[in-house]
Every structure is written in structure tokens, then in C-alpha cells.
A and B are shown apart, each in its own frame.
Chain A
Amino acid sequence: MNRRRIPEGFPWVLPSLLVLLALSIYPLIYSVKLAAADRGNFTRLFTDRLFLTASIQTIVLTIAALAIEFFLGLALALLVDSLARGRMFFRTALLIPMLLPPVVAAVAWRLIYNPQFGVLNGTLRWLGFHTAHLTWTSGESSALASVILVDVWEWTPFLFLLLSAGLQAIPPEPLEAARVDGAGAWRIFRDVTLPLLKPTIVLALLLRAMDLVRIFDQIFILTQGGPGTATETVSLYIYRTAFRFSNFGYAAAMSFVLLAATMLFSRGLLRAMRAR
């Protein structure tokens, strides 16, 4: 076959490639130019306390939310999988938080969290608990945890969905064989189910991690990064830098840090998808 010949499928793909070049690659190059216009943009990354705070908080939020969502999602998937009846109902109902527009979900949680008139403190008080110290998103020390809780509520369904699908895809034979060999439930889970589920787990964790490091919508509605800087994340800080303070160059420089993290995840992700 002539190596120089253009592949037959190329014309079919060309429009997509052009659109993506214009809307993804060109903006990236533009971004490099913006950031590089002033070398101070990159050195400032290392001295900017707020950027450091935002980065640390983004990492904390990502790891904490990921860990909780994974364990809860796995537990729920195993639980629903073990039910004899109503599996379809539970699978559907448990997905709803993830499908809602994130802005709407966050609005609902503002109505829940508000220390004075929120339904959470209202219900707790009605049940006889003291709620004066429960400030949720408006307390400096509890705000980040409260934001994480909303993310857990909203995205555990995602882990649940993928892990449920993974569980259903496990062929029954190895489980049967282990049972015949007299293995207990825990042994079967650890030595048979978990290894077979691993590709799905890796995929789900990477997809979720990639989304978590860029978290924006919920925090924008819930706290705008406050109180103070208690829930400031990298995305929020970039947004503010660019669109409140019109410092596009520095915003672009910061966004490359986020890009680097994403690329790390996406390489693993493509490999995980290929492995399936």
C-alpha cells in the first residue's frame, strides 16, 4: 500500500478535526501566548499564597470526596446487587442526584444548609439537637467539609452506577467455583469479585478525579469560595482572576497547572479504557 495515500476515511473525519482544532487546540496555544506574555505570570505561581491555598484545598477536596464516594458507591452497589427484588427501582432512584443540573442541586443545598432558616438545622432542632454551633457552609472550619458532603451526595451515584454495571458484568462461574470450594462471603469478595471489578474501579475513579479537580459549579453557588478563602479552589480562583480582575495572563498560567493534573489522569484513563 502506498504510504503517501490519504486514508479513505480521512475526509469523513476532517470536519471534526477542524472544529476541535479551532475550539480546543487553538485556544490552548492562545493560552500559552497569554501566559507567556509576562514571565512574571509563571514565577508568581510559586509565591502566590492564595494559589497555594486553593491548590491544597482542591487536593484535599478531591481526595476526600473520591474516597468517600468510592466506598459508599461500592457499598451501595453490593447492597443493591444482593437484593432479590426491586433492583431496577433502586438503581434508577439512586441516580437522580447526579442527573440534576449542578446549579439546581446546589440551590437545593443552600436551602438545606442555611444556619438560620435551613431545613437541616430546623429538623435537627426539632428532633432536640443543639444547632447553634452547626454553621455548615457559612462556618470557616466546616465549609469545606460541607461542600464535600454535597459532592458526595451528588456524585456517589456515579460510582454506584459504574460499579453496579461492573458487578453485573462479572461472569457467575468464578463466583460459583469459589463457593463450591467453600470460600466465605468476604473471601469471595476479596479474591474473586474485587480483582474482576478492578478495571471498572480504575476507570470510575479516574473519571471522577478528573471532574473533581476542576470543581466549580457547586462551590460557585454554595459559597463563592468563602467564607474567607475556606472553600477557594483552583477553578474558582482562575475564574476570579480572569473575569473579576481581568488578569487573563495569570489565569492562563494557573490553568496550566490544572491541565497538567488532568493530563496525568487522562493518560491513565485512556489506558484503562483500552484495557477493557
Chain B
Amino acid sequence: MMRARSGWREAARKAAALLPYLAAVAAVFIALAPVYWLLTISLKREVDQFAYPPQWIGFTATLEHYRDAFAGGSFAAYFENSVLLAAISTIAALAIGVPAAYGLARFEWPRQWDHRIADWILSTRMLPPIVTIVPLFLMLRQARLLNSLIGLAIVYTGFNLPFVVWMMRGFFEEVPKEIEEAAMLDGESRSGALLRIVLPLVRPGLAATAVFCLVVAWNEFLFALILTQTEAAMTLPVGIASRVTQYEIKWGAMSAAGVVAMIPVLVFAAAAQKYLVRGLSLGAVKG
């Protein structure tokens, strides 16, 4: 009798210990269900997409929507635009921003000018896009750079630049000064020391910074919506959005495009996982 009761208590204790896991699993389910649903719509035949009751599992899968969107449709071109744009703007932001980060982290600045400049640079990143978009639109129109990848690449470079400076400054500050001073005593120039000694040391940080720039450019919507209005210049998010706001929506092709649009982001996030906190808090929290 005693044993049975303590067995009960033991079981109750075990069940209670499981509760937090159940709650966490429920949270994961809520976080992933919309993504899963989008995936199923992209894989279902049109008759099944909006069937009642909703088919969460056990539907006939087809790849026709992916073919529709990418082989027959224009999403392949949008995809290419997005890839080019993300790559060009990331490389440009790194090329301009890394030296600035190094300059702020390594040199003596009178009267805390390094802090003031860094704060000013970061505060430009906080400008709401909608504030600068009207003048940028008019400026690019004047320069005949509307609806061109170059115009949007310039804007994205400026958008990511503050982030690069702020992130990389933190990484450079973690490298002991003595390392490059030794290299410079051995006859290495300042920029040689940066390129050959310091950059390899901060490579993980550099990679994480690049990943964040890529993701921002890849996901960005508002600038792209306004600055690329022709079919030829559209990015993937704008292409998807232009289909949703039409009267008759091809949900299958659009979901397929959406699934394809989120894959690179998830891959990149997995790659930069160690630096997610630092990157997403604009480099403010070390992690």
C-alpha cells in the first residue's frame, strides 16, 4: 500500500517535471505551424490547397508550383536579382566599413571622437526607411538609377554600412594591439597588418557580419518596393508582394517562391548562430 502511494507520488512528480517541456514544445509548434502550412500549400495540388477539413498531413505532393514559379514564371529572375543585390551590397558595405571599424578601434582619437563618430554612424542606421525613402527615390530618379540593381545596391550598402562598422569595431577591439604592432616592427605596413594578421583573426566575426548584411538585403522590402517597379528589376520579396496584391492570387506558385525565399535565410542563420544575439542587437550585446 505504502509502496503504491509513493509510486503515485513519483509518477505525479515525473509528470510535473514534463510540463515545462510540453509548454516549450507547444511554443515551437506555434512558431513553426505557419511556416509548415506555407510549405504544404506549395506542395499541394490546387484542389487540395483549400480543402475542408484542412489537410495538415497526408496530401498528395506535387512540385508543379515550383516549376510554375521558377521554370515558367518570373521568379527565377527575381531570385537572381536578389542574389546579385545581396552579394554586391554586402561586399561593398564590408569594403567601406571594415577600414572604418579598424580606424575607430585602433587609433588614438582626441576627445572621444571615436565614440562620437561610432554613435553617429549607428544612429544613421536607426533612421526609419520611410523617412529617407522619398528623397532617395527622387535622387535616384534624377540620376536615372530607378529600377536598376545598381541604384538599390547603393541604398543597401548605405543601409548595412553602419552595422558593419559597429559590429567589426567590437571584433577588432577584442584583438590585442600587440599582435599587429609586432608585425609592423617586422616591416609590415598598417594595411598589410590589417589584411594579413588582424582580419584572419577576426574571420568568424567577419563572416557573421557578412551573413547579417546578406540577410538584411535579402529580406528587405520597402526600399525594393519603391525603387524597383519594373518586372526586370524586382527582387524576390517585391515579386511575391506584387502577386499577393493582385485580384486573383496563384497561391501555389507564390508559396513555392516564399519557401525558396526563406531557405537561404535559414541556412545563413544556422551558420551564424553563435553571433545571432550580437548581430540582432546591432552589436550591442556580446554573444
Contact = CB atoms under 8 A, between A and B. Distances in A.
Interface string A81-111: 0110010001011111111111111011111
Interface stretch (B62-70, B196-204, B261-269): B261-269
B222 A3 contact: no
B277 A122 contact: no
A13 B162 CA distance: 11
Contacts of B171: none
Contact of A23 (B35, B117, B126, B155): B155
Nearest to A22: B158
A103 to B, nearest CB: 4
Given A99-B266, A122-B52, A256-B131, A104 B237 contact: yes
Interface in A190-207: 200, 203-204, 207
Contacts of A17: 100, 117, 121
B124 A24 contact: yes
Interface stretch (A41-49, A139-147, A175-183, A265-273): A265-273
A216 B162 contact: no
Given A96-B35, A111-B41, A125 B251 contact: no
A189 to B, nearest CB: 15
B273 A92 contact: yes
A245 B107 CA distance: 50
B281 A235 contact: no
Given A9-B104, A83-B21, A276-B284, A31 B161 contact: no
Given A99-B265, A110-B244, A216-B222, A239 B130 contact: yes
A255 interface: yes
A158 B282 CA distance: 12
A74 B139 CA distance: 44
Contacts of B20: 79, 82-83
A110 B165 CA distance: 37
A96 B130 contact: no
B102 A12 contact: yes
Given A16-B97, A79-B23, A96 B103 contact: no
A26 B154 CA distance: 14
Nearest to A122: B54
B32 interface: yes
Given A93-B31, A112-B34, A104 B244 contact: no
A15 B101 CA distance: 11
A263 B191 CA distance: 36
Q: State which size class the interface on B falls in.
A: 35 or more
B38 interface: yes
A259 B133 CA distance: 13
Interface string A11-41: 1110111011011111110110010000000
B96 A16 contact: yes
Contact of A243 (B122, B154, B226, B266): B226
B277 A165 contact: yes
Contact of A20 (B27, B124, B215, B221): B124
B218 A101 contact: yes
B214 interface: no
Nearest to A249: B134
A252 B269 CA distance: 36
B241 A28 contact: no
Given A7-B110, A107-B254, A220 B241 contact: yes
A209 to B, nearest CB: 11
Given A104-B262, A107-B254, A217 B222 contact: yes
A16 B41 CA distance: 45
B128 A221 contact: no
Given A7-B113, A15-B100, A17-B117, A111 B255 contact: yes
Interface string B267-283: 00110010011001110
Interface in B129-158: 129-139, 154-155, 157-158
Contact of B261 (A12, A104, A220): A104
Q: Which 3 A-B pairs have the closest CB atoms?
A: A12-B103, A9-B107, A23-B158
25 contacts: A13-B117, A19-B158, A20-B121, A23-B158, A27-B131, A27-B132, A34-B134, A96-B31, A96-B35, A101-B219, A101-B261, A103-B221, A103-B241, A105-B34, A107-B254, A111-B251, A123-B56, A126-B53, A216-B221, A220-B225, A248-B134, A248-B138, A252-B135, A262-B131, A273-B282
Interface of B: 20-21, 23-24, 27-28, 30-32, 34-35, 37-38, 41, 49-50, 52-54, 56, 96-97, 99-100, 102-104, 106-110, 113-114, 117, 119, 121-124, 126-139, 154-155, 157-159, 161-162, 165, 215, 218-219, 221-222, 225-226, 236-237, 240-241, 244-245, 251, 254-255, 258-259, 261-262, 265-266, 269-270, 273, 276-277, 280-282, 284-285, 287
